Chain A
Amino acid sequence: MRRAVLFVIALLAHVVPPSRRAIWREQWAAEVWHYDRWVARQHRASRAGSLRLLARASGAFPHAVALRGAAMSPRMLLHDLTFAWRLFVRRPAFTAVAILILGLGIGANATIFSWVDAVLLHPLSAVAEQDRLVAIRGTHLARTNLSMSYPNFVDLRSARVDGLQDVMAFRILALSVRTGGEPLRIFGELVTPNFFDLLGVRPAIGRTFRSEEGQTPGRDPVVVISQALWRRTFGSDPAIVGRSLAINGTPFTIVGVAPRDFHGSVAGLALDAYLPITMQKAVMAGDRLNARGNSWLQVYGRLTPGATLERANAGLRVAGDRLAATFPDQNEGRGLMAATLANDGASGLLMPVMSTLMGVVGLVLLIACANLAGLMLARAAGRQREVAVRLAVGASRGRVVRQWLVESLLLAAAGGLTGLILASWTSRMLALFIPPTPFPVAFDTGLTPTVLVFTASVTLLTAIVSGLLPAVRASRPDVALALKEAAPGHVGGRGRLRQSLVVAQVALSLLLLVCASLFLRSFMRAQSLDVGYSAHHGLLASIDLLAGGYDEERGKAFLQQALDRVAAIPGVRAASVAVAVPLDVSSGSDMSVTIDGYTAQPNEDMHAYYNRVGPGYFDTMGIDLVEGRAFTPRDAKDQPRVAIINESMAKRYFAGRSALGGTIRFGSGPTTIVGVARDGKYGTITEAPRNYMYLPVLQSYRPDLVLHVRTAAEPTGLLPALQREIRALDPALPLFDVRTIEEHRRLSVFIPKMASTLLGLFGVLALVLAVVGLYGVVACSVAERTREIGVRIALGATRPDVMRLVLRQGLVVSSIGLAAGLVLAFAAGRVLAGQLVGISAADPVSFAVPAAALLLVAMLACALPARRASRLDPIMALRRD
């Protein structure tokens, strides 16, 4: 990264007036060196770190331009500008095409960058100084990214870790609120009282929490609500403070409203209510405030100004060791570490695809630049005389280069403006790709100041990249030759340069097309991938028995009755419940297990992910059992504890023998394995096979459950009947997040879908640009060779001969481009391999189809000028000049 930046800076140095060039270059080399060091310290060479390095180094552009501007007399600059303006007005077609090309390239960059800005750089809207926020995670042996228990958090906070100004904790949870009418399902956070202060968020109305509101469990039923909830539920009542809101049946007093663009502490989620952590028992099962072994909180810290992540980590190591030493029962082997927020929540999910897209639009812009440079070179040929006259009457070469740079700057500025207009519309389109999720999603994309600065820098870069080469070329024509009347044969060198530009465009657009087809085919595979369960004709609906006022006994009774009633609905084939649905975007719950008869290696990861499911679950989901039996209603609390494990787990711990009858231990008491289920995909479709267990929900109860219903036909038609049956049992219990299993499945493929759609779009854009460039080169060379072709025809060349002559030129240029593009694409495929599902990164179809399509389109683009050449009237051609 640093080398690329230094290269650009070396290029850019040519913009700086010669008298200051050396100093400028050294100054920037030193600054970049220190940025690089700083980024490495802060971000450990993550991609976000590279972006920051770029952002910091981008100051070199305005700096160089400012120095150049200071060296220019304003009168000269004005003269250059008016001259450029007149040229453009005189050639409206050229100007329009150039602005359009740049507008598309810059617009694509501004759009994707606005997403990167919203998703990766400023993922938490309305939160102050996000680069000083870090996530603090627990570690346990080889495992990282663990949550923290409340007692551990309290001790951590009072330890005053070096490098951390403060720490806070939160937990996201679903809540049922009621203000009179229908219960409403929202998502909120249990937070420590310093939550808002640490994030730097001030309330729009009222107050946030006081420190004493985090002291006594159950004492402070107060709530801060989001502006969205305030508008939706309270009609933006200005006298909101002091009003009451029933949350999971407990009345809470509203003390404040969060600012409009604050959506909570996790990227991408839109949360609606914030409750003091001491109110945990009112909204969540169990008493979690005193259990040191129960890890359920996420923790963020704010770095002390000037402190690095490393310093905080050193402090956390000390604090973690002390916690482990003081409470060995719960904390043995546990530690603490801090990480940037870039991998958190939706940011972590979208990071790979966003980085890919950013690279892709960069390529599109490069193609646009090459294209424009080609156009300007073609114009340079036509303006040789003008330049020669300028040089002949005493203009310096620098003066000519400056004139040309001003022209490309003017073009780029118009292109940048076009791009911004485009982006103001397209930057909002990120929301279109986000599928219906079980939780509310918010990304504030738009043209923020950061995006504007980025776009301005990109525009400047574009002007220099696309203008410098033609400018330098144009400034050294052979004066004597150009001043002569006709010199049509002496354009060979310039023609070669244009051809190389087209080769580059063809290569880059093939690269993009191959990436696009890799993602498209991966998306298609992902949709039909065997995930271990059937997505056909199924319905999901969530219920929350705790919010409905059920204790465990009544909850279980309710479940039995509800499942019987639902199963009796005509058209329902099977029905069950489970805590988690496979392939939702969360990573799932796991726990540490021991297996009787299996000796774990020292430090071997003995964790298994698990789900708690009701009787009939495997039937309902279409999950095959390889061995043993499924759960029945008889697997209840007073019966021996049982579990069903997946094939991977059975193979790993019971190699060579049957797992049936084996004993697993976790928590309290032994659990007998009664079945082995086929492997599936549990968290994401790209995951490696993992240990997975199913436990009967009647033995390890949870009140927040998802109803699973398998139907004989199209499932949505049965929804009214389903709602009727649940309402007949309890009219106050809401069914929420109703969706078909197929809809749920779409959630797991939205990233491949987004990637393939956007890459396809950019690939086609690149293809169009490259083909326009190719057409330009071939058409131009036909125009330049009119005389030569005339002579050939006069000497007896047939029309097919001439056609072949011209087509051959196009074929050679595009073949070289194709070959280079294939090599590039092969390298890119290896980088993207981790994001592909079900196909190899060297998938032959993904390479062959775009290459063939590109070749075909390229030949069509050459056919037009070839035809024109073959129809030349030799007499007219020879008479020209």
Chain B
Amino acid sequence: MPKTATLSYGAAAILHAVAGGQQFGFDIIDATGLTSGTVYPTLDRLEAQGYLRSKWENEAAAHREGRPARRYFTLTAAGATALRGALAKYKALRPLPGFAPEGAKG
């Protein structure tokens, strides 16, 4: 089962950033401090593993604002579970409201 597989720090940091509201590759790079060469392939891998879901912005809305539509990512239920597990392991990641490590209170 992929859900029991442990996440690398990079993958955990990316899930963490997505959970924290960063939905675009660009913002995820800024939030995680990872290089762009790590972030994009990992996003695709996390999507293939079912931890993330990607969608396109509403094209009409983007065009109205004179910018191209971007692909954005959201956390799946499996991703949220995996992130909780990872937060317990990687203490360097800032705790997020609603993502307390498993077993911890609050």
A430 contacts B by Cβ under 8 Å:
no
Residues on A with C-beta less than 8 A from B29 are 56, 59
Chain-A contact segment, one of B10-18, B39-47, B74-82, B86-94: B39-47
Residues on B with C-beta less than 8 A from A38 are 26
Q: Which residue of A lies closest to B71 (CB)?
A: A27
Residues on A with C-beta less than 8 A from B40 are 59-60, 62-63, 66
B25 contacts A by Cβ under 8 Å:
yes
Determine whether the beta carbon of B36 is less than 8 Å from that of A56: yes
Provide the bound-state CA to CA distance between A26 and B44, in Å: 15
Provide the bound-state CA to CA distance between A27 and B29, in Å: 15
Provide the bound-state CA to CA distance between A59 and B70, in Å: 16
Determine whether the beta carbon of B38 is less than 8 Å from that of A29: no
Determine whether the beta carbon of B44 is less than 8 Å from that of A63: yes
By CB atoms of chain A within 10 A, which of B41, B45, B56, B67 has the most?
Answer: B41
Provide the bound-state CA to CA distance between A58 and B68, in Å: 20
Contact of A34 among B26, B36, B37, B56 (CB under 8 A): B26
B96 contacts A by Cβ under 8 Å:
no
Contact of B68 among A29, A57, A457 (CB under 8 A): A29
Determine whether the beta carbon of A30 is less than 8 Å from that of B68: yes
Given A31-B25, A34-B26, A38-B26, A63-B37 contact (CB < 8 Å): yes
Given A29-B68, A33-B67, A33-B68, A62-B26 contact (CB < 8 Å): no
A49-76 with Cβ < 8 A to chain B:
55-63, 66-67, 70
Determine whether the beta carbon of A457 is less than 8 Å from that of B37: yes
Determine whether the beta carbon of B71 is less than 8 Å from that of A26: yes
A35 contacts B by Cβ under 8 Å:
yes
Residues on B with C-beta less than 8 A from A816 are none
B99 contacts A by Cβ under 8 Å:
no
Determine whether the beta carbon of B37 is less than 8 Å from that of A453: yes
Contact of A57 among B36, B45, B71 (CB under 8 A): B36
Provide the bound-state CA to CA distance between A456 and B38, in Å: 13
The interface size of chain A toward B, counting residues with CB under 8 Å, comes to 26
The A interface, classified by DSSP as helix, strand, loop or mixed, is: helix
Q: Which residue of A lies closest to B67 (CB)?
A: A33
Determine whether the beta carbon of B37 is less than 8 Å from that of A58: yes
Determine whether the beta carbon of B39 is less than 8 Å from that of A59: yes
A23 contacts B by Cβ under 8 Å:
yes
Q: Which residue of B lies closest to A33 (CB)?
A: B68
B8 contacts A by Cβ under 8 Å:
no
B41-65 with Cβ < 8 A to chain A:
41, 44-45, 48, 56
By CB atoms of chain B within 10 A, which of A34, A38, A59 has the most?
Answer: A59
Determine whether the beta carbon of A59 is less than 8 Å from that of B71: no
A30-52 with Cβ < 8 A to chain B:
30-31, 33-35, 37-38
Contact of A67 among B44, B68, B69, B70 (CB under 8 A): B44
Provide the bound-state CA to CA distance between A38 and B44, in Å: 24
Determine whether the beta carbon of A23 is less than 8 Å from that of B37: no
Q: How many A-B residue pairs have CB under 8 A?
A: 66
Q: Which residue of B lies closest to A457 (CB)?
A: B37
Provide the bound-state CA to CA distance between A61 and B38, in Å: 10
Contact of B70 among A34, A55, A453 (CB under 8 A): A34
Determine whether the beta carbon of A63 is less than 8 Å from that of B70: no
Determine whether the beta carbon of B44 is less than 8 Å from that of A59: no
Provide the bound-state CA to CA distance between A67 and B48, in Å: 11
Provide the bound-state CA to CA distance between A57 and B37, in Å: 9
Determine whether the beta carbon of A62 is less than 8 Å from that of B38: yes
Determine whether the beta carbon of B70 is less than 8 Å from that of A30: yes
Residues on A with C-beta less than 8 A from B38 are 59, 62
Residues on B with C-beta less than 8 A from A56 are 26, 29, 36
B4 contacts A by Cβ under 8 Å:
no
Determine whether the beta carbon of A59 is less than 8 Å from that of B37: yes
Closest-CB distance, A114 to chain B (whole angstroms): 17
Provide the bound-state CA to CA distance between A55 and B24, in Å: 17
Contact of B41 among A29, A66, A457 (CB under 8 A): A66
Residues on B with C-beta less than 8 A from A33 are 67-68
Determine whether the beta carbon of A30 is less than 8 Å from that of B39: no
Residues on A with C-beta less than 8 A from B70 are 27, 30-31, 34
Closest-CB distance, B65 to chain A (whole angstroms): 12
Q: Which residue of B lies closest to A29 (CB)?
A: B68
By CB atoms of chain B within 10 A, which of A26, A37, A55, A60 has the most?
Answer: A26
Determine whether the beta carbon of B68 is less than 8 Å from that of A59: no
Provide the bound-state CA to CA distance between A59 and B69, in Å: 19
Determine whether the beta carbon of A30 is less than 8 Å from that of B71: yes
Given A59-B40, A63-B44, A66-B41, A453-B26 contact (CB < 8 Å): no
Provide the bound-state CA to CA distance between A463 and B56, in Å: 32
Closest-CB distance, A112 to chain B (whole angstroms): 20
Q: Which residue of B lies closest to A456 (CB)?
A: B37
Residues on B with C-beta less than 8 A from A35 are 26
Provide the bound-state CA to CA distance between A468 and B45, in Å: 26
Determine whether the beta carbon of B41 is less than 8 Å from that of A34: no
Q: Which residue of B lies closest to A67 (CB)?
A: B44
By CB atoms of chain A within 10 A, which of B25, B38, B69 has the most?
Answer: B25
Provide the bound-state CA to CA distance between A631 and B40, in Å: 70
Residues on B with C-beta less than 8 A from A26 are 56, 68-69, 71
Provide the bound-state CA to CA distance between A38 and B25, in Å: 13
Provide the bound-state CA to CA distance between A604 and B71, in Å: 53
Contact of A30 among B41, B44, B69 (CB under 8 A): B69
Closest-CB distance, A21 to chain B (whole angstroms): 13
Provide the bound-state CA to CA distance between A33 and B25, in Å: 12
Determine whether the beta carbon of B37 is less than 8 Å from that of A62: yes
Residues on A with C-beta less than 8 A from B56 are 26
By CB atoms of chain A within 10 A, which of B40, B41, B44, B70 has the most?
Answer: B40
Residues on A with C-beta less than 8 A from B41 are 62-63, 66-67
Provide the bound-state CA to CA distance between A364 and B26, in Å: 31
By CB atoms of chain A within 10 A, which of B35, B37, B48 has the most?
Answer: B37
Q: Which residue of B lies closest to A57 (CB)?
A: B36
By CB atoms of chain A within 10 A, which of B26, B45, B56, B67 has the most?
Answer: B26
Determine whether the beta carbon of B67 is less than 8 Å from that of A453: no
Determine whether the beta carbon of B71 is less than 8 Å from that of A61: no
Provide the bound-state CA to CA distance between A77 and B103, in Å: 43
Given A31-B24, A35-B26, A38-B26, A61-B37 contact (CB < 8 Å): yes
Residues on B with C-beta less than 8 A from A23 are 71
Provide the bound-state CA to CA distance between A63 and B39, in Å: 8
Contact of A66 among B26, B35, B44, B69 (CB under 8 A): B44
Provide the bound-state CA to CA distance between A56 and B24, in Å: 13
Determine whether the beta carbon of A59 is less than 8 Å from that of B35: yes
Closest-CB distance, A36 to chain B (whole angstroms): 11
Residues on B with C-beta less than 8 A from A37 are 67
Closest-CB distance, A565 to chain B (whole angstroms): 62
A31-B70, A59-B40, A66-B40 given; name 20 further pairs at CB < 8 Å: A23-B71, A26-B56, A26-B68, A26-B71, A29-B68, A31-B24, A31-B25, A33-B68, A34-B67, A38-B26, A56-B29, A57-B36, A59-B25, A59-B35, A60-B36, A63-B44, A66-B44, A67-B44, A70-B48, A456-B37
Which residues of A come within 8 Å of B, CB atoms? 23, 26-27, 29-31, 33-35, 37-38, 55-63, 66-67, 70, 453, 456-457
Which residues of B come within 8 Å of A, CB atoms? 24-26, 29, 35-41, 44-45, 48, 56, 67-71
A-B pairs with the 4 shortest C-beta distances? Answer: A59-B36, A66-B41, A63-B40, A62-B37
A-B contact pairs, 8 of them (CB 8 A): A26-B68, A30-B68, A31-B24, A38-B26, A60-B40, A63-B41, A66-B41, A456-B37
